[in-house]
Amino acid sequence: MTASHSDTTSDNVNPTAQEAVGEASRDAVEAGTVDDQRGRHDLTGFSPKARAWRSFFETSAIISDRMEKRLHSSTGLRLTDYNLMLLLAEAEDNQLRMGELAEGMVFSPSRLSYQVKSLQKRGLIDRFADAEDRRGMTAQLTEEGHRVFEQASRLHATHIKQLFHPALDDAEADTLRQICEQIKDTVAAADRA
Residue 181 has pLDDT above 60, yes or no: yes
Instruction: Identify the pLDDT of residue 130.
Output: 78
pLDDT in tens, 2-48: 333 333 333 444 444 344 434 444 444 444 444 555 566 778 788 99
Q: Are 49 and 57 in contact (CB under 8 A)?
A: no
Give Cα separations from 68 to 25, 116, 125, 126 (angstroms): 40, 18, 20, 24
Give the pTM.
0.72
- pLDDT-derived band of residue 132, with 50, 70 and 90 as boundaries? confident
Smallest CA-to-CA distance from 145 within 121, 109, 173 is with: 121
